[in-house]
Homo-oligomer: A and B are copies of this chain.
C-alpha cells in the first residue's frame, strides 16, 4: 500500500468563490480534513469551507495550546508550540501510513506566513506532501480598495505590525507600495510609525477582505476604532503609468 498524500490546501482570503479550481476539487473529494483552530472556536479555515466538506468525511481539529496567553519571547511558548506541531504531525503521518490522503485547510497562501509551514517542515521527506497555493489575504485587500497596488518599477514591502515602531517607520518611508499585516493590538504603534514616516494619510484599512462584513476606509477615518485580527493596511504605489 502506498502512503497517502498530505495536502496543504490554500483556501485563499475567505470567499470560497476565490478558492482555486484545484483546491475546490480536492476538498469536495476529501475523506480526511484537518484544520487549526483556537480552543472553543469553530476555526476560521473551517468556517470558509462550511457546506463544502463531503458527507461522511472525518474532521480533525488541531487546537492551539496557547495563542496570546504567553508572550512569544517566553521559551515556554516555543516549547508548547513545538510539542503541539509534533503531535499534529504524528496524527497526519499515521493517516498517511494507512494510505489515506488528508486535506489540511489553510487560510490564505500556505507558504506565506501560514501555520501549515510548521507541519510542512516536519512532514516533508517523510510522507508525500503537496502545497496548493492560493490568493493571499493582502491580494484580496488591495483588490477591495479599488486601486492597483503596484505600477511600473514600484517596490512593495510587506511588514508585520509586530515589528518595533522605528523599524516600521524607516521601512514605511523607504518603500513605494506597502502592506501591513498582524495588526490587532499593534494598531497604535502602527499608526505612530505611519505618522513618523509621513504617510499616515495615504493608508487604507481593509477589514475582512472578501468576507462577509468587508470594510474599506482610510485609516485616518477609522481613528479610535479597535481593529480585529482580519485587518490589513495598504498603501498604493504611484509608479510609472502611460
Contacts and interface: CB of A to CB of B under 8 A. Distances in A.
A160 B149 contact: no
Nearest to A22: B17
Interface centre among A139, A146, A149 (most CB of B within 10 A): A139
A120 B241 CA distance: 12
Contacts of A85: 242
A161 to B, nearest CB: 9
Copies per assembly: 2
Interface in A139-174: 139-140, 142-143, 146-160, 162-163, 171, 174
A61 interface: no
Interface stretch (A38-46, A106-114, A193-201, A216-224): A106-114
A55 B92 CA distance: 45
Given A18-B133, A72-B240, A111-B143, A158 B162 contact: no
A95 interface: no
Interface stretch (A29-37, A75-83, A97-105, A225-233): A75-83
B19 A20 contact: yes
Contacts of A146: 124
Interface string A56-100: 000000000000000010000111111001000000000000000
Contacts of A112: 139, 142, 148-150
Contact of A148 (B114, B143, B153, B174): B114
A117 interface: yes
A242 B118 contact: yes
Given A18-B21, A21-B18, A21-B21, A117 B82 contact: no
Contacts of A6: none
A19 B21 contact: yes
Contacts of A142: 111-112
Nearest to A158: B156
Contacts of A80: 242
A11 to B, nearest CB: 11
B81 A109 contact: no
Contacts of A135: 20, 109, 133-135
